[in-house]
Amino acid sequence: MIVVGLTGGIASGKTTIVKFLKNKRFTVHDSDLVIKKIYNNPTHKLINYLKKIKLEHLTRDRKINKKLIREEIFSNTKKRKLLEIHLHNEVKKARDGFLKIHKKRKTKVVFLDIPLLFENKLDKICDYTILLYAPIKVREKRAIKRKGMKREILKKIINAQLSDKIKKNRADFVISTTTTKAQTFKNILLIINSIL
């Protein structure tokens, strides 16, 4: 089984590429989707953990306000790191289970969509890595259009990620997402063909 890691900074086009790959019937593990499910249906374990790291005021009726959590953790590095430890452990469990299932099924190729792939040294579990790239100004323009995104929070999110230069040096393949969607899709299919 070939394991391909997909990554890119905020608003680099990961969601669009993941959607495309799923439509093409490729097998994808989506880290963001796992986090979304955790936030939408938090366990008692998570609620208790939020209390422990003093973030419980951001939950109401067992629902987590993702926008408020993001604002708070990107203004407090210690709380961000503590929350990330918990979330990354949960995502790791889901990812390990996914890899185990597809290894058994002898799936030819699987994709792991991991936003912090290089930051968390997860490239070591991949046979190949693909970086989705767009210049910082383009990404800022895209991200600021997102509901509830504030410019100062966006800056903090970008600063918490590795620079594009480092990611480009470490990735096996780099795809620019500033061309048309059709061209970006064509490029990813060319890479998949060369991998296979």
Q: Please compute the mean of the pLDDT values over residues 170-175 and round it to a whole number.
A: 97
Count: domains in the chain: 1
Which structure tokens are listed for 71? 């604002």
Residue range 145-170: mean pLDDT, rounded: 88
Q: How many CA atoms lie within 13 A of 16 on its CB side?
A: 19
Q: What is the mean pLDDT of the chain?
A: 91
Task: Quick: pLDDT tens for 13-29.
Answer: 999 999 999 999 999 99
CATH of the domain at 16: 3.40.50.300
| pLDDT value of position 91 | 95
Average pLDDT value for residue range 60-64: 74
How far apart CA 13 and CA 132 sit, in angstroms, is 7
pLDDT tops 80 at residue 56: no
Mean pLDDT in residue range 61-89:
85
Name the residue with higher pLDDT: 110 or 158.
Answer: 110
Question: Given a cut of 80, is residue 78 above it in pLDDT?
Answer: yes
- For the entire predicted model, the pTM comes to 0.89
Parent domain of 168: 2-195
Q: Which residue has the higher pLDDT, 8 or 70?
A: 8
